[in-house]
Amino acid sequence: MGKSEVGIVKRGWLLLVLLVLLSAYASAQNAEVVISNSKDWKDVYSVMQYGYLAQKVPAFIVSDRHAPVILNQWDPAAFTIEAISSKSRPQVIGYKSIIEGNGFTAKETVSDQITIDLAARLTDINQYVIVDPLYGYNAIAVAPYAIVSRSFVLFADQDTIADVDRFLSSQNPEHVLIYGHVDREVMERLSKYDPETINEDGDRFANNVAIVKKYKEINDAKQVLLTNGEVVEAEIMSGSQPVLFIGVENVPDKIKEYIKNSNIAVGVLVGNNLVGTATTVRRQTGISTFVKFARNAREPSGPVAQIEGLDIFYLPKVPFNLQISKIRYNKITRQIEVTYTNPEGVAVFFKATFTVRSENGEEQVMGDVDPLFIEGNSEKTVVYPVDPFTGEALSTDIFVIFGEARYSLERVLSGTMDVEIVSVTDESQLQIEKILLDRKNNLFLVYLKNIGEVDTYAQTEVHDVFLLGERRIFGAQDIVKIPPGQTGISKIPTEVFGDEDITNNPTIKVRTYFGEREDALVKVIEGQLDLRIKGFDIIDYAPHIIILLLILLIIGAMRKKKCEHCGHKNPRKRKICKNCHNKL
């Protein structure tokens, strides 16, 4: 081989080495996509926040059909993909092979504790936000704040707090924020981290405004995302702008006031489910409002292309509802009686306006100034005094706004109903005697005396109970019947009371609805009573006592009788000593 040929060979090898190095460099520079493969919204949420905090490209699949389609938006030459799959609830099995089949370099991580695993990967993060997984909307509210403050959101309730605490202990966190209502065990267990808390009486809209204010301390965004906290979507999780809840059918006053008093100029609605309330925001606050409603289809379909919906993962909703079962005009009392039914297990606040008309053209408007409370799975009758109607055929227009919190009335109940006409008197009379807290059974016991002469039905609520720093209302689901002259007990389920909670509630506001008719508790009595703790009650321990007595009897029966003369121990039943034959 001549010198020139050797030179060519050397240059060829050099070129080859350069090419290899370049390709290695290029692959190292490939962006990484992380895709959530899970049916559990908490996993989806955690993957999205991990992706944004780790500066990767996060995404999620919402079904098995979605799994290959989502891959069409990335170039295999420019992206590698990691699938983070739920061990127990994946969308697809073996997602790695699907990804590799589309030409990507892929890996798959399978886990049954995705949130904590991903939190552990982020070694430069040591600030955490804690939310209860029962309230998915709280997680959505804090998501943008978590990104801008470089915090990781963890889910904790009484069942999972041990794992979360163990993880936090290993991280020595710099700051912990507890957002929204959490279980007592969570509060107590996390107290050692001296956490900051945001929880304004469990009101999701009030809490949302508070976290938006914290966001704006870091990034004074003049643009917000409008949602109701029921979906995970990329723009919501990106942290580029704070999230503001606007309600499903009604925009709470708290939100409108905040927008008007802030420097927010633009709202972007994600998805088109809430166009109605977003339009209300636009018109009542004056901010520009855009709707992000679609994306281009990822499956090629020709030059004139299709569009498809946004990638959205729906969170489980906290179900609450309100119905009106009866509306009556009582001629004798001159009252409109409205009976509400709460068919779900979640307590609700409501505020109503009624326009009652007769066939004679009479019209009267009545309603509530302040929101009222109705416990889950219960009924309540509210009465409104009216001027006498002369007509015999009455109907009413109904407009009721309701929600989970007192000033977060986001749903609407509206329509028209016929009004039944009755002529009924109510001679019931009641007196509230005392209220006891049964700590063993987590019950308020309200003692009610029937001081009238007719059977009386009653249902009781306790208001403004301060529990774990939150003002709460508890109501009895059952109606008690109290004969005349008797005392009945209305039992109200509550939560565990700590010693501090008892100290914070020396008196309790008690409100009792009662009446002669079980389906029309048209009277109300209210009082502020000293809270007493229920003492030892033998009835509560009767089973234990009986068992103890039986045991003692059995032991006694098994004991032997000792002879006084010779000391021999005889069976209990014997009357003559077996040994010395003397009388026992």
Partner 1 sequence: MDNHSMDNHQPHHHLKAAIVFMIALALLASAEAQQPRAPHTMDNVTLYGANVSFGGLANTSGGSITVMNLNVTYQNPRWKAYVGNISGKLALIDAQNKSLYDWTVSTPEGELYATRNDSMISWDAITCANYTNIFDEEAAINFSHGWTDSINATFNRTVHRQFYAGNVLITGNSCPSTTLNVNDTAQDEYFQELVLNDGSHIVYSTLIEQGVPGFNNLTYDYQMILPDSGLEDTSVTIPYYFYVELI
- Least distance in angstroms from the C-beta of 8 to partner 1: 6
- Least distance in angstroms from the C-beta of 536 to partner 1: 54
Q: Which is nearer to partner 1, 274 or 382 (CB)?
A: 274
- Least distance in angstroms from the C-beta of 16 to partner 1: 14
- Least distance in angstroms from the C-beta of 299 to partner 1: 8
- Least distance in angstroms from the C-beta of 83 to partner 1: 19
- Least distance in angstroms from the C-beta of 256 to partner 1: 9
Q: Which is nearer to partner 1, 2 or 388 (CB)?
A: 2
Q: Which is nearer to partner 1, 266 or 548 (CB)?
A: 266
CB 514: neighbour CB atoms within 10 A? 25
Q: Contact 120/144 with Cβ under 8 angstroms?
A: no
Please give the Cα distance from 153 to 134 (Å, whole number). 14
Please give the Cα distance from 422 to 444 (Å, whole number). 35
Please give the Cα distance from 99 to 104 (Å, whole number). 6
Assigned token pair, 581: 């034959």
Q: Which is nearer to partner 1, 251 or 508 (CB)?
A: 251
Q: Which is nearer to partner 1, 191 or 414 (CB)?
A: 414
- Least distance in angstroms from the C-beta of 273 to partner 1: 14
Interacting residues toward partner 1 by CB under 8 A: 2-4, 7-8, 72-75, 222-223, 234-235, 238, 240-241, 249-250, 265-266, 268-269, 275-276, 278-280, 282-284, 288-298, 300, 303-305, 307, 310, 399, 401, 412
- Least distance in angstroms from the C-beta of 128 to partner 1: 23
- Least distance in angstroms from the C-beta of 90 to partner 1: 24
CA-based nearest residue to 147, from 82, 58, 60, 84:
58
Please give the Cα distance from 338 to 353 (Å, whole number). 11
Q: Which is nearer to partner 1, 71 or 435 (CB)?
A: 71
Angle at CA 36, nearest 5°, toward 178 and 316? 55
Please give the Cα distance from 85 to 111 (Å, whole number). 6
Q: Which is nearer to partner 1, 280 or 456 (CB)?
A: 280
Q: Reduced to 3 states, what is the DSSP secondary structure of residue 306?
A: coil
Q: Which is nearer to partner 1, 110 or 291 (CB)?
A: 291
- Least distance in angstroms from the C-beta of 142 to partner 1: 18
Please give the Cα distance from 216 to 265 (Å, whole number). 14
- Least distance in angstroms from the C-beta of 480 to partner 1: 37
Q: Contact 41/61 with Cβ under 8 angstroms?
A: no
- Tokens 């500066």 identify what position? 55
Q: Contact 65/14 with Cβ under 8 angstroms?
A: no
Q: Which is nearer to partner 1, 93 or 266 (CB)?
A: 266
402 CB burial (10 A radius; 0-12, 13-18, 19+): buried
Please give the Cα distance from 543 to 378 (Å, whole number). 32
Please give the Cα distance from 66 to 72 (Å, whole number). 11
459 CB burial (10 A radius; 0-12, 13-18, 19+): buried
CA-based nearest residue to 42, from 33, 34, 52, 50:
50
- Least distance in angstroms from the C-beta of 439 to partner 1: 44
328's enclosing H/E stretch is strand 323-330
Q: Which is nearer to partner 1, 88 or 414 (CB)?
A: 414
Q: Reduced to 3 states, what is the DSSP secondary structure of residue 279?
A: helix
Residue 512 dihedral angles phi and psi, to the nearest 5°: -120, 130
82's enclosing H/E stretch is strand 79-86
Assigned token pair, 288: 């520009």
- Least distance in angstroms from the C-beta of 76 to partner 1: 8
Q: Which is nearer to partner 1, 409 or 473 (CB)?
A: 409
- Least distance in angstroms from the C-beta of 144 to partner 1: 10
Q: Which is nearer to partner 1, 72 or 360 (CB)?
A: 72
Q: Which is nearer to partner 1, 22 or 542 (CB)?
A: 22
Q: Which is nearer to partner 1, 185 or 397 (CB)?
A: 397
- Tokens 């089973």 identify what position? 543
Please give the Cα distance from 347 to 472 (Å, whole number). 11
Please give the Cα distance from 145 to 242 (Å, whole number). 7
Please give the Cα distance from 214 to 285 (Å, whole number). 22
CA distance readout (Å), 250 to 52, 351, 394, 486: 32, 12, 28, 46
